[in-house]
Amino acid sequence: MHTKPVRWTAAAIFGAVLSVAALNAASAQSGAASWYGSGSRTANGERFNPNGLTAAHRSLPFGTRVRVADSRTGRSVVVRINDRGPFVHGRIIDLSRGSARALGMGGTTYVSLQVLD
């Protein structure tokens, strides 16, 4: 049986590298977090619950569970991504008011993210 050799083009290799880099970047991030407490609907269409353990992220799929750890206090909370944002430069995640309370944060804080599923 004779098989053809696989030919990798530069575009295919570059695309594969970008895919792996995007996955790694989204699975472990650190940066500034903020919180929000108002709104009627989230980007996935559900009603916004300000006291829920939810968050907004720019690129993670809806329903993804993420452990958010406050680098200053060491406290952490598991949130579910159900919205898009933050829309402020330099921030990596927007937490619902309930998530922010669980972390003990007031305004903004430096956090690390770890994707759980």
DSSP state letters, 70-93: ETTT--EEEEEEEE----STTEEE
Asked if 57 contacts 75 with a C-beta cutoff of 8 angstroms, the reply is: no
Say whether 113 sits in a helix, a strand or coil: strand
Reading the block at residue 23, the tokens are 């996955």
Residues of the chain above pLDDT 90, percent: 68
Residues of the chain above pLDDT 70, percent: 77
Over residues 25-40, mean pLDDT = 85
Closest CA to 101 of 109, 89, 91: 109
Res 20 pLDDT > 50 = no
Res 23 pLDDT > 70 = no
- Per-residue pLDDT, 59: 95
pLDDT band at 39 (very low <50, low <70, confident <90, very high): confident
CB-side exposure of 84: number of CA atoms within 13 Å? 5
Res 108 pLDDT > 60 = yes
